[in-house]
Amino acid sequence: MKGSSALLLVAVTWLCTCGLATGEDTSEFFMDFLQTLLVGSLEDLYEGPLSKYNVNADAKSAMTKLKSCIDDLQPMHKAELVKLLVQVLGSEDSA
């Protein structure tokens, strides 16, 4: 579990840094990334939120492991994460 948490932390840090470096709205990028990570495929990630970035082989390997961790979650836990994401997206829409 510690490895998965560390991997997630690295991914989040990398995503925020990429968003800040490009001047993109990081919260919008991050939410799109999370949504795709939870319910999409790796191909969806590379064709969607990550399409503007040159993702190197090591980052692709990390993304594969991260996606695998998420896909291995119990269905009820994954569903709760999706509900949380919907809640966060809904609160951003009303802001």
pLDDT at residue 7, rounded to an integer: 57
pLDDT at residue 18 in the model? 54
Residues 6+ apart with CB under 8 A from 31: 85, 88, 89, 92
Q: How far apart are the C-alpha atoms of 49 and 74, rounded to whole Å?
A: 25
Whole-model pTM?
A: 0.65
* Mean pLDDT, the chain cut into blocks of 10 residues (95 residues total): 55 54 67 88 94 91 91 89 82 65
How many whole angstroms separate alpha carbon 73 and alpha carbon 78?
Answer: 6
| Secondary structure of residue 48 in the 3-state scheme | coil
